[in-house]
């Protein structure tokens, strides 16, 4: 029996992600936990728009020359070096990649080269799914590590609309059926954007997104040119690779909404949409986009439609199931000062946030709830 040859390297050159894109996506196809946020197109475009030259740390493990483990990280200073995932902030799910055929050995080899073994270095992996591949690293980590709660993500089983409506309480289901009938009668034309037209469609999405949120507290990052650069490049690459779909919605010949749906074998994800403000006075926007995304998810045989991060009221209408992402922190030795400081700071910030919410005056809570309801109505 021929002995296996394992090798590992850390690439720091800024072009490494682009150069290894095909090999990276081949590994992602062999990693059951991988989502579209781990695709080469998403990571490469994020690095192009947000990365700092010289700070990429691309960890690679090969077995007999074939890539079987990978982690795309970047260095930040706080003031000690902290390794965070490429895509941090914009990725609803972060993770490493491990080949399903040798997952435990690959995790051990990857943990061995993770550059957080030094006393003044930390790896901070946020938004890892409870079953994410990065969870495997904990079993092989010799130093200090911690697992903390992170964002809530919501999801629904990919079922035909009528079956999904049966999950809802009677009045909610009845209202939803009425809205669905109005959508069917309105004559909205839906078109899946060809790959060559994706950058233009994403540009239209962002213009509509800015218009729908004008004066209502949009996420600032979503209105910037850097995000536009990232999203156009990422979605174009993901559509070409079958990792995303872009739907355009026209009413009386006018483009009124655009939606990006992320696709992976285990789940689809409603990422971002833009809709003209006048449309919400006529139709159920959330129901329109959700219905089409659900239909595409079913056609592809994907079992789950994720609503991604956040517990906004408009998502609650569908009575989704919930999971909480996790934050994995790895430090050098058991008493590594950077790990101790970092874990302590994270826990203090979380405790302060909980205390602030608990002490929020009654009137402020009412105002916050009213803003959420207005936001939900606007989305619907």
pLDDT confidence band for 365 (50 / 70 / 90): low
DSSP line for 153-203: EEEEE---HHHHHTTS-HHHHHHHHHHHHHHHHHT-EEEEPPGGGHHHHHH
Express each pLDDT in 106-156 by its tens digit. 999 999 999 887 767 899 999 999 999 999 999 999 888 889 999 999 999
Range scoring the smallest mean pLDDT among 42-51, 63-72, 344-353, 355-364: 355-364
Express each pLDDT in 297-351 by its tens digit. 999 999 999 999 987 777 888 889 999 999 999 987 655 676 667 777 777 776 6
Q: How far is CA 109 from CA 68, 160, 176, 247, 333, in A?
A: 10, 43, 51, 41, 18
Residue 121 · residue 81 · CB < 8 Å: yes
Q: How far is CA 95 from CA 75, 130, 202, 204, in A?
A: 16, 11, 25, 30
pLDDT confidence band for 377 (50 / 70 / 90): very low
Question: Does 147 sit behind a cis peptide bond, omega within 30 degrees of 0 on the bond before it?
Answer: no
Express each pLDDT in 254-304 by its tens digit. 999 999 999 999 999 999 999 998 887 788 888 888 889 999 999 999 999
Q: Where are the beta strands (DSSP E) in 42-136?
A: 56-63, 66-77, 81-85, 97-98, 122-128
Express each pLDDT in 215-227 by its tens digit. 777 788 888 999 9
- Determine the Cα–Cα distance for residues 43 and 233; give it in Å rounded to an integer: 10
The per-residue pLDDT for 358 is: 59
Range scoring the smallest mean pLDDT among 2-11, 96-105, 318-327, 330-339: 330-339
- φ, ψ of residue 34 to 5 degrees: the values are -70, 140
- Determine the Cα–Cα distance for residues 87 and 297; give it in Å rounded to an integer: 24
Residue 324's Cβ-count burial label (10 Å; 0-12, 13-18, 19+) is: exposed
- Determine the Cα–Cα distance for residues 82 and 357; give it in Å rounded to an integer: 28
| Joined tokens for residue 130 | 């409870």
The per-residue pLDDT for 335 is: 56
Q: Is residue 375 pLDDT above 70, yes or no?
A: no
Q: Is residue 11 pLDDT above 50, yes or no?
A: yes
Q: Is residue 71 pLDDT above 90, yes or no?
A: yes
The per-residue pLDDT for 371 is: 57
The per-residue pLDDT for 299 is: 93
DSSP line for 222-264: GGSHHHHHHHHHHHHHHHHTTSEEEEEEEETTEEEEEEEEEE-
- Determine the Cα–Cα distance for residues 327 and 146; give it in Å rounded to an integer: 8
User: Minimal CA–CA distance to 98: which of 130, 125, 63?
Assistant: 63
DSSP 332: S
Percent of the chain at pLDDT > 90 equals 64
Mean local confidence (pLDDT), 66-77: 96
């Amino acid at each position: 029996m021929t002995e296996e040859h394992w090798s590992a390297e850390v690439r720091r050159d800024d072009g490494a992600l682009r150069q290894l894109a095909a090999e990276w996506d081949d590994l992602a196809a062999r990693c059951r936990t991988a989502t579209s946020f781990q695709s080469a197109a998403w990571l490469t475009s994020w690095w192009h728009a947000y990365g700092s030259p010289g700070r990429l740390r691309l960890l690679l493990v090969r077995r007999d020359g074939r890539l079987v483990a990978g982690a795309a990280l970047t260095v930040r200073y706080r003031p000690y070096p902290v390794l965070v995932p490429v895509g941090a902030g914009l990725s609803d799910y972060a993770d490493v990649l491990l080949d399903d055929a040798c997952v435990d050995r690959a995790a051990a080899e990857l943990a061995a080269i993770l550059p957080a073994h030094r006393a003044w270095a930390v790896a901070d992996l946020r938004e890892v799914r409870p079953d994410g591949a990065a969870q495997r690293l904990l079993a092989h980590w010799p130093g200090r590590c911690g697992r903390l709660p992170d964002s809530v993500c919501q999801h629904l089983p990919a079922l035909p609309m009528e079956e999904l409506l049966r999950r809802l309480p009677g009045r909610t289901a009845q209202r939803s059926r009425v809205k669905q009938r109005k959508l069917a009668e309105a004559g909205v034309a839906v078109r899946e954007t060809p790959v060559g037209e994706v950058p233009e469609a994403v540009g239209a999405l962002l213009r509509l997104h800015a218009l729908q949120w004008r004066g209502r507290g949009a996420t600032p990052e979503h209105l910037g040119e850097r995000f536009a650069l990232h999203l156009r490049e990422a979605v174009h690459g993901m559509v070409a690779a079958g990792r995303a779909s872009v739907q355009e919605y026209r009413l009386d010949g006018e483009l009124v909404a655009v939606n990006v749906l992320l696709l992976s074998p285990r789940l689809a994800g409603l990422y971002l949409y833009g809709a003209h403000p006048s449309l919400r006075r006529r139709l159920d926007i959330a129901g329109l986009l959700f219905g089409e995304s659900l239909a595409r998810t079913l056609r592809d045989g994907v079992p789950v439609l994720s609503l991604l991060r956040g517990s906004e009221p408009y998502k609650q209408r569908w009575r989704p199931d919930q999971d909480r992402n996790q934050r994995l922190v790895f430090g050098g030795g058991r008493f590594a000062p950077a790990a101790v400081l970092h874990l302590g700071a994270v826990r203090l910030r979380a405790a302060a946030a909980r205390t602030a919410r608990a002490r929020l005056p009654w009137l402020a809570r009412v105002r916050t709830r009213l803003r959420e309801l207005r936001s939900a109505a606007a989305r619907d």
